[in-house]
Each structure stands twice: as C-alpha cells, then as structure tokens.
C-alpha cells in the first residue's frame, strides 16, 4: 500500500468510532430496521435474493447488511480494521449473516476467493482510489459470467467546485484532468461528526467520467447503462436542499449540475 492510501486508512481508522455514533449514519435506526440503500441503488441492483454480492469499500457494513435484509449472500470489504470489526459486531447484533474482509482493495485477490453475481460500490468511494485500472480489474476478477457491477457515485463535475463556500457561488477549485499526484487537504473532525477530535490529512483523486468508463471497458466489462442525476447522497455544498427521498439537490434558483452518476456493467 502506498503512503497516500496508508494515510487515508489511518484517517478512516480515526473516523470510524465517531461515525458509528453519528446521526448521519443512525446505527440504532438501522438496527431497528431503517433502510440505508437509496432508491437509485435499489433500482440499479434489482432483486438480490439468493445472489452472491460483494460490497467494495463498505466502511462498517450498513450497506452490506442492508443487502442481506433484501436476501443477498453478502461479503463486505474495507481497509480499515476498526470498521471491519464494527461491521462484524453489527452483523452479530442484528442477526444478519455476512462475511467481512479487511483488505486494501487492490490486494483483495490475496485475501478473498470466489466469484459473485453482483459487485456493488457507492457514494464516496472512487475519490480514495489512485488507480481505476486496477479497481476495474479487481471487479472483473470477482464477477461471475454475466455478473453485474453497480456503481453510484458523486459526479466528478460536482467535485470540481469549492464546497467550502457558503455564499452560494459556484467557483472552480480543482482541475478536471488531473491524474498524477492526489489532492491533499488537512482534516479536522469527521464528515459525519464535524466536532470530533480528529486531525489528519486526506488524499483524494477526481476521476473524469471517461476514466471510469474506460477502465471498466478495458477490464472486459460491458456498460449496460449510464445515468447522471441532479441530486446526490449528501449535502456537498452547505446550501443544498434535502428532498423527501433523502437525496440532496441544488436550490431552485441555483444552476443545475450533474451531482451523481450511476452505472450498470456486465461481465462477459
């Protein structure tokens, strides 16, 4: 694991205990039966009863265990040891059987055998990965013949603008074509618990749409559908408006941007 991903893993290790108790994740609500999967995810993946599902970058497993509630035979993967430990505890506490594997994504074939009918990954995942070619190869490695990849993610166009401004002005902060060194930001607190006593450094990448699609195609997958959405899973800008379905969108008087993308791809 390179030094950037190692630093990110350390950051997620520090975030995990605070995220577990954050209202954003509402773990107790999940234990009581709250659905954590959004309508785009549920529609994009479809029926999973009896299907083998691999959830990449699962954090502490709420999404993985939600798929178990829908009938999947699910395996979740994350590189943060404390997150995987918490996921296993939640699995035992809820009686939702799932397998959780601690591994860096790129090293996963060294730690997990088998093939899956569905590979699922969503919301805040690609920005932590420096190499989409390797990411796509891991997905292709695990998909059974005809198996489905479903991805839902923040749109890279939305990520270009300065999310720290509260004056409702969209001002470019990052370049769209930047494929080498990561962007580096100091971190105070957690995105889910801003007041948490956590400090560190975040290393992230913004991947153009062509890189996402191209990596999957070069790995041998067939793009079945690709959609762009004017809403996303979190309030990226402080002045976004929450919809009744839980997604966030721009206010009516603001320019409309592509805020989220989703895609389905198939193995040969």
Give the per-residue pLDDT at 180. 79
CATH number of 3-266: 3.40.50.150
Give the per-residue pLDDT at 128. 97
Contact 216, 243 (CB under 8 A): no
Give the per-residue pLDDT at 133. 97
In this structure, is the dihedral angle defined by the CA atoms of residues 224, 230, 233 and 237, taken in order, positive or negative? Answer: positive
Give per-10-residue mean pLDDT for the chain (268 aa).
92 97 97 97 98 98 98 98 98 98 98 98 97 98 98 98 93 90 94 92 96 98 98 96 95 95 98
Pairwise CA distance, residues 151 & 120, whole Å:
6
Long-range (24+ apart) CB contacts under 8 A made by 1-10 are 1/79, 1/104, 1/107, 2/130, 4/130, 4/182, 4/203, 5/79, 5/104, 5/128, 5/130, 5/203, 7/200, 7/201, 7/203, 8/128, 8/202, 8/203, 9/79, 9/80, 9/104, 10/200
């Amino acid at each position: 694991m390179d030094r950037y991903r190692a630093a990110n893993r350390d950051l997620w290790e520090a975030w995990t205990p605070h995220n577990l108790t954050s209202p954003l994740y509402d773990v107790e609500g999940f234990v009581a039966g709250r659905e954590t999967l959004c309508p785009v995810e549920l529609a994009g993946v479809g029926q999973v009863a009896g299907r083998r599902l691999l959830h990449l970058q699962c954090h502490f497993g709420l999404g993985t265990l939600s798929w178990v509630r829908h009938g999947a035979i699910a395996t979740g993967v994350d590189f943060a040891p404390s997150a995987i430990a918490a996921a296993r505890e939640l699995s035992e506490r809820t009686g939702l059987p799932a397998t959780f594997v601690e591994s860096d994504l790129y090293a996963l074939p060294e730690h997990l055998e088998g093939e899956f009918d569905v590979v699922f990954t969503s919301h805040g995942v690609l920005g932590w990965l420096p190499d989409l070619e390797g990411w796509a190869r891991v997905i292709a490695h695990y998909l059974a013949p005809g198996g489905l990849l479903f991805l839902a993610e923040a749109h890279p166009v939305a990520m270009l603008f300065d999310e720290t401004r509260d004056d409702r002005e969209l001002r470019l902060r990052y370049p769209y074509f930047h494929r080498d060194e990561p962007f580096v930001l100091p971190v105070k607190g957690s995105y889910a618990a801003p007041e948490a006593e956590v400090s560190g450094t975040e290393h992230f990448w913004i991947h153009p749409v062509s890189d996402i699609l191209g990596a999957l195609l070069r790995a041998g997958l067939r793009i079945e559908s690709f959609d762009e959405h004017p809403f996303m899973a979190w309030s990226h800008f402080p002045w976004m408006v929450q919809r009744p379905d839980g997604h966030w969108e721009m206010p009516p008087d603001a320019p409309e941007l592509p805020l989220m993308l989703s895609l389905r791809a198939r193995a040969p």
